[in-house]
Chain A
Amino acid sequence: MSGARQQARGNGGIGMNGIILAARGLSKTYVQRSGRFGFGTTRVKALDDVNLEVKAGTTLAVVGESGSGKSTLARCLLQLQPLDAGEVLFEGQNLAALSGKALRAARRHLQMVFQDPFASLNPRMKVGDIVAEGLVIHGIGTAEQRRDSVARMLERVGLAAADMEKYPHQFSGGQRQRIGIARALVLEPKLVVCDEPVSALDVSIQAQILLLLKELQQEMGLSYLFISHDLRVVRHIADEVAVMHRGRIIEQGAVADLYAKPRQEYTRILLNSIPGRHRLAT
């Protein structure tokens, strides 16, 4: 891990003492229609003064339950949704201040892996085209070079180069998530936001995908922002953890410390809810 961290630092371009991504004072409020016929409105604070930092080459996990604001956080970090207040600094640059072209250039280095491997791949596109799409959009390489990169990436994530010619429905859930990972990583990003990447998978497949993500992190010097509601998974993938509750980050720290000595009652409740915690510990 520390090797990957140093390598990433050595790549240059990372400002702020090895912090690759920093969020300062993020706020976002949704106005929802409410009441039986939608005549009323309710304001929901999805993000409430959220601050966090991802160190280059490491994994920051954001844990929380449905409605805690963790997915809104992911979308706002990638500028897929406008913020009400606050700024997102990627390698020291304020993403909101970037123009269309510069933002697109930055986005190449900010990729995302989604939760549902069934819904996030276009069923009418061949796997090769799905994985190559980012390269095409960013104008990287010739058609032939792109084909090579895609083939290499597919092999790297445990699929075969020949899988380029197949369609998503021909793959299992775990394999589809490998395709989703290949699509994100073929662009050689610096930071990958993983939004519940293993929660739709069986436990046995989960372990495979988590190990794959860890290996790729080491090899490519990646930084991860890993969003999850599963504290068992987070314990294995994260270096640092931020606990989100009702739009706020209520506690943050190194993973081993936070699990051993949670300071907040809510964190304790989360940890105590881990299934099998009291009987499977060996």
Chain B
Amino acid sequence: MSELLCIDDLTVVPAADERRRLVDGVSMTLQAGRTTCIVGESGSGKSLTALSVMGLLPPTLRRISGSIRFQGLELTGLTNAQMCDVRGKRIGMIFQEPMTSLNPVLAVGFQVGESLTAHLGLKGDALKRRVAELLERVGIPPERAGSYPDELSGGQRQRVMIAMAIACEPAMLIADEPTTALDVTVQAQILALLAELKSRMNMGMLFITHDFGVVADIADDVVVMFRGQIVESGPVDAVLNRPQHPYTQALLDCVPDAEGRKPLKPIDYAWLNEAMA
């Protein structure tokens, strides 16, 4: 197992107020062929961690410390042009809203092909063939290449996004809440597709979610974030069955179970503050 991504002591703050640590000393590693889930509530810093890896932090935020090494390459010092060569080619990305991430006036086949042209210089018939292959691989009939995003369902759009993300066979895929906007049955299909692609292409996947149910379905390793910090991390079975940190337990407790056996339990922050003090 080789180490694909290594984040060391990452700290992100608003440029206007450097004392507020939105991501606070985060360190983690991701292995090739494994899925690491970052789980936490809104504002826990999970998405900012992913954006830092991709070099896509909004200009109002600043990384004040930390190193991010991807396949031995330090990403934090790269120029924008160098980063563009990594993003989309060696690191694929999928976001939550397939509706807003696709260009509505371009056929989906064209959009899948864009990164193939940009990164690999594919053109003409070779490009067409590769686009058809990719669509097929994510479960979209290749004849739909000429369709526009509004002619596809939410699940199909997310499949198109996945085809775009894996087009250049990246070593790592970053997925930020990719199934949150989808119906349950579609969510299950997309999770299965991602797991299959991960194994087949031996990708490392960094998967961000707030839902421990999704974590249980897709993760190999789990990182739990709370208020910018990692409070617990480990293999999925250990974290689910023997959570060590009170926040992990609280976050597990508030997921409603399908059997209706355990009572609903919102997070008691006052208690948590005491337990963590």
Residues in A lying within 8 Å of B, measured CB to CB: 65-66, 173, 202-208, 210-211, 229-233, 235-236, 255-256, 259, 269-282
Contact = CB atoms under 8 A, between A and B. Distances in A.
Contacts of B251: 203-204
B184 A230 contact: yes
A255 B260 CA distance: 10
Interface string B208-220: 0011111111000
A273 B185 contact: yes
Contact of B184 (A204, A210, A270): A270
Given A229-B184, A232-B258, A281-B259, A211 B213 contact: no
B184 A206 contact: no
B264 A235 contact: no
A202 B210 contact: yes
Given A202-B41, A210-B256, A276-B215, 4 more contacts: A203-B251, A280-B216, A280-B252, A280-B255
A204 B265 CA distance: 8
A280 B258 CA distance: 9
Contact of B212 (A65, A203, A256, A273): A203
A207 B213 contact: no
Interface in B156-191: 183-188, 191
Given A207-B265, A277-B258, A66 B214 contact: no
Scoring B153, B212, B215, B254 by chain A CB atoms within 10 A of each residue's CB, the highest score goes to B254
25 contacts: A66-B153, A204-B41, A204-B250, A204-B267, A205-B41, A210-B264, A211-B264, A231-B184, A232-B213, A233-B256, A235-B256, A235-B258, A256-B260, A271-B258, A272-B188, A275-B191, A275-B217, A276-B211, A276-B212, A277-B213, A278-B216, A279-B240, A280-B213, A280-B216, A282-B257
Contact of A231 (B41, B240, B258): B258
Interface of B: 41-42, 153-154, 183-188, 191, 210-217, 240, 250-252, 254-262, 264-267
Contacts of A202: 41-42, 210
The 9 A-B pairs with the shortest beta carbon distances in the complex, nearest first, are A276-B213, A275-B213, A276-B216, A273-B188, A65-B183, A279-B216, A207-B266, A232-B256, A208-B266
A233 B213 CA distance: 12
A203 B209 CA distance: 10
A207 B259 contact: no
Contacts of B254: 203-204, 206-207
Contacts of B216: 275-276, 278-280
Nearest to B209: A275
B259 A259 contact: yes
